[in-house]
Amino acid sequence: MMLVSLLLILLQVCSQLMTAVAIPTCLLNGHVVQSTHHMLRDLGGSFPVSCLPVNINISFPSSVLPAAASANPLQCRKALWVVYESLQEAGLVFEEDLPAELTWRDEKLQRFRHLQFRLMEEGQCLSGVDGSVVLSSYFSNVTAVLEQQGSAVCGWEALRRDLLWVLKSALHQHHNCFTWGTKTPPTSG
């Protein structure tokens, strides 16, 4: 009887290992994601109350991020994909000129862009993990607001707020999905 249950346990461990092996490892460095979050947080102030009306048009689809912390490798991949894809699509938006009224600290903005770029390289294999279009729908809504004269500043602020939420939530709820091994302080500049 003991032998049978031992075998069952072994079998279970094996199948879990197989699942993990079947999925190519695709990792993001948690320290870099954390620095990216902090740079984005520190480059400006809190979300302006006067921008609240923009929430009608820009509301991040938060359910796209798996809710609970889990050792499930599939959930990890999904969570990392949400981080990757959000930064990737935001990167395209950030290639546009920022409106002059936006008083973001340029030095921190440049460092944020640098870290973002680094994560894009690191997480390239995450591209296409999920076929969901909900994020692209969100980003086209953001772009629509940015293109409207008078609402661009609030559009940028909303995008920044939502990116901060994504990075922070992923780091908190899916802490173990990131690699934390080597402490590589982000290079300045």
Ligand X SMILES: *[C@@H]1O[C@H](CO)[C@@H](O)[C@H](O)[C@H]1NC(C)=O
7-15, 20-28, 100-108, 137-145 -> range binding ligand X (CB under 6 A) = 137-145
Quick note: the x/- pattern for ligand X over 141-160, rule CB under 6 A, is: x--xx--x--x---------
Q: Minimum distance between the CB of residue 98 and ligand X, rounded to whole angstroms?
A: 17
Query: What is the phi-psi region of residue 150: left when phi exceeds 0, alpha when psi lies from -120 to 50, beta otherwise?
Result: left
Give the CA distances from residue 32 to residues 5, 82, 136, 182, in Å, rounded to whole numbers and listed in that order: 43, 16, 24, 11
Name the β-bridge partners of 179: 29
Q: Minimum distance between the CB of residue 152 and ligand X, rounded to whole angstroms?
A: 9
Q: Minimum distance between the CB of residue 145 and ligand X, rounded to whole angstroms?
A: 4
Q: Minimum distance between the CB of residue 130 and ligand X, rounded to whole angstroms?
A: 14
- Residue 131 phi/psi, 5-degree rounding, is -90, 5
33-41, 106-114, 130-138, 157-165 -> range binding ligand X (CB under 6 A) = 130-138
Residues that bind ligand X (CB under 6 A): 56-57, 59, 61, 134, 137-138, 141, 144-145, 148, 151
